[in-house]
């Protein structure tokens, strides 16, 4: 199993209250992350004042000596066996080491350098069961005001100082006895771990040997029939092993906590293997269908508004991207009939109600809201005329009109399904692209009879008088 580590990404994900900026972070919570080693924090988060690391698997206090501003450190429910490496935390006022494995009570002497320390929690540790535990701590750390949530009275400290020589000798003897017992527990844990590794190696070699045995044609016919029974048998055996694991007596040691974690992880992987679960690969997102239809897509699930600014003859898209997202994670692509924005690799695509000019469009971040504002000037509307009937009768105005008709047909072809539109009457706006033609006064033009336009085929254009 891969050991969970403290990474920069993990810290950033847990510092949203500071806009994911870690160098100026003052409070950080990394509880219940199955972290086994305390690292990197003193390099990346020098301004920390509060650090929550409870309910992990940290076995040693380290790499926090440079946190000069740290005031509160919570390391409850970890695997710590000794108090150390906190001398550099000059501003430390509260330290929580509840339910760890601290047996060296004399290690509290290292906290004498933390002159501002007022509260200390050691309940739930083996040392808290020593005779004279509280008197020893009260006499050793005279700057303390509270121990295990109970206020230290002046009379209590005077009495503890008077009895300190006797209490210190008692604590030393109990520490030695605990250390001997702890050494035996470690040896037993290492022996069990070696046995488990050997058993797993035997099981793997046995399964490989069985998997390589050849099947005859007759056997192959019965393989599929026996797979279900083999699956049920394997599952039943795993359930029995799991029940045996949880029912057997276990010492409360750092090794037993790690063993429990390994067992749960192994159980999860075996379950996935037996059930044949595999991560489903998502099919690629369809943005434009095979027949050329552009779809409205909002995979980032962002709020947006689309405004048709008739005064400035442009369309404005206001997309509510994350305020503190780096602009390098945003990619904008404006096309004549639609706009596409990739936000952290997720597409946002919208069909436009009118044709726009991509080359004249602009995109910028709002300084007040952080939103992405895209301004897209609309294409000037062109009056449609009669269609071309022959190559000799083609004029510049005819070619522009034909290009406009083709462009209008293309817009209708790329129109989205009305049921998926995110704004009203897009289709109507697109279909009403061709305006009513005006009567144009021009010089009469002599056209041969065989090239004269067929006005009956194009009733929208009146004959010139």
Determine the structural domain holding residue 301 and report its residue range: 287-385+398-438
Examine residue 190 and state whether it is found in any structural domain, yes or no. Answer: no
Q: Other C-beta atoms within 10 Å of 414: how many? A: 21
The answer on 311 and 273 residing in a single domain is: no
Same domain, 63 and 111: yes
Q: 190 or 372, which is more confident?
A: 372
Tokens of 64: 């926090």
CATH number of the domain where residue 362 is located: 2.60.40.790
How far, in Å, CA of 69 to CA of 36, rounded?
A: 24
Q: Does the residue 364 lie in any domain? A: yes
pTM of the model: 0.50
The mean pLDDT value for 147-160 works out to 95
Q: pLDDT digit string (tens) for 406-424?
A: 544 444 444 444 444 444 4
Strands 297-298 and 346-351: antiparallel
> Are residues 170 and 292 both part of a single domain?
no
Q: Is residue 186 part of a domain?
A: no
Which residues, at least 6 apart from 63, have a Cβ–Cβ distance to it below 8 Å?
38, 39, 40, 41, 42, 85
Interval 26-49 mean pLDDT: 90
Domain stop point among 259, 278, 297: 278
Segment among 15-24, 317-326, 361-370 with least mean pLDDT: 15-24
Residues 129 and 264 in one domain: no
| Sheet with 304-309, side-by-side order of all strands | 304-309, 314-319, 372-377, 362-365
pLDDT single digits (tens) 69-92: 999 999 999 999 999 999 999 999
Residue 309 lies in a domain: yes
Asked whether 374 and 331 are in contact (CB, 8 A), the reply is no
CATH number at residue 24: 3.80.10.10
In a domain, 456, yes or no: no
One domain for residues 38 and 130: yes
Same structural domain for residues 336 and 415? yes
Say if residue 107 is in the same domain as residue 56: yes
Longest dimension (CA), the chain: 129
Query: What does the alpha-carbon distance between residue 288 and residue 398 come to, in Å, rounded to a whole number?
Result: 31
Q: Nearest CA to 380 among 363, 399, 400, 395? A: 400
DSSP, res 327: G
Handedness of CA 165, 171, 177, 182 (dihedral sign): negative
Q: How far apart are CA 211 and CA 428, in angstroms?
A: 66
Beta strands in 302-435 (DSSP E): 304-309, 314-319, 330-334, 338-343, 346-351, 362-365, 372-377
Q: Indicate if 376 and 294 belong to the same structural domain.
A: yes
The reply to whether 370 and 404 lie within a common domain is yes
Nearest Cα to Cα of residue 116 among 166, 62, 63, 73: 73
Query: Would you say residue 462 lies in a domain?
Result: no
**Residues 29, 160: one domain?**
yes
Report if residue 215 sits inside a domain. Answer: no
Instruction: Point out which residues pair with 52 in neighbouring strands.
Output: 29, 74
Q: Which residues pair with 119 in a beta bridge?
A: 94, 146
Same domain, 313 and 248: no
Q: Angle formed by the axes of helices 164-212 and 254-275, to 10°?
A: 20
Integer Cα distance of 84 and 108 in angstroms:
8
Residues 236, 323 within the same domain: no
Number of domains in the chain: 3
Asked whether residue 209 carries a pLDDT value surpassing 90, the answer given is no
- Is 304 part of any domain? yes
């Amino acid at each position: 199993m891969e050991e969970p580590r403290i990474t920069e990404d993990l810290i950033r994900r847990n510092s949203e209250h500071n806009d994911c900026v870690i160098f100026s972070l003052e409070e950080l919570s990394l509880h219940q992350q199955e972290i086994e080693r305390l690292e990197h924090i003193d390099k990346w988060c020098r301004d920390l004042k509060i650090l929550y690391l409870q309910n992990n698997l940290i076995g040693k206090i380290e790499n926090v000596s440079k946190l000069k501003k740290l005031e509160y450190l919570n390391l409850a429910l970890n695997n710590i066996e000794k108090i150390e490496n906190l001398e550099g935390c000059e501003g430390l006022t509260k330290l929580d080491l509840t339910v760890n494995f601290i047996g060296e009570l004399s290690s509290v002497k290292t906290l004498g350098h933390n002159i501002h320390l007022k509260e200390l929690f050691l309940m739930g540790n083996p040392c808290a069961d020593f005779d004279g535990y509280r008197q020893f701590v009260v006499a050793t750390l005279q700057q303390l005001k509270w121990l295990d949530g109970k206020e230290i009275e002046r009379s209590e400290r005077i009495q503890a100082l008077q009895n300190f020589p006797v209490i210190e000798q008692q604590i030393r003897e109990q520490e030695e006895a605990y250390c001997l017992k702890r050494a035996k527990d470690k040896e037993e844990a290492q022996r069990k771990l070696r046995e488990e590794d050997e058993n797993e190696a035997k099981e793997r070699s046995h399964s490989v040997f069985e998997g390589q045995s050849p099947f005859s044609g007759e056997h192959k016919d019965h393989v599929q029939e026996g797979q279900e029974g083999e699956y049920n048998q394997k599952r039943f055996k795993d359930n029995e092993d799991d029940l045996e694991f949880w029912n057997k007596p276990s010492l409360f040691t750092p090794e037993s906590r790690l063993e429990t974690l390994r067992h749960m992880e192994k159980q999860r992987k075996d379950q996935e293997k037996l059930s044949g679960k595999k991560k489903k690969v998502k099919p690629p997102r369809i943005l434009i269908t095979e027949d050329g239809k552009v779809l409205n897509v909002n995979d980032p699930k962002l709020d947006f508004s689309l405004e048709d600014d008739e005064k400035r003859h442009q369309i404005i898209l206001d997309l509510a991207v994350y305020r503190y997202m780096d602009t390098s994670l945003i990619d904008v692509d404006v096309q004549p009939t639609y706009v596409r924005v990739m936000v952290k690799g997720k597409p946002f695509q919208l069909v436009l109600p009118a044709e726009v000019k991509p080359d004249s469009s602009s995109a910028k971040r709002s300084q007040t809201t952080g939103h992405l504002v895209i301004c897209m000037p609309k294409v000037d509307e062109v009056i449609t005329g009669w269609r071309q009937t022959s190559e000799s009768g083609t004029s510049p105005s005819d070619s522009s009109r034909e290009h406009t008709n083709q462009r209008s047909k293309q817009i209708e072809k790329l129109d989205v399904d009305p049921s998926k539109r995110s704004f009203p009457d897009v289709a109507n706006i697109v279909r009403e692209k061709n305006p009513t033609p005006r009567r144009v006064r021009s010089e009469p033009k002599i056209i041969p009879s065989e090239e004269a336009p067929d006005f009956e085929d194009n009733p929208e254009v009146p004959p010139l008088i």
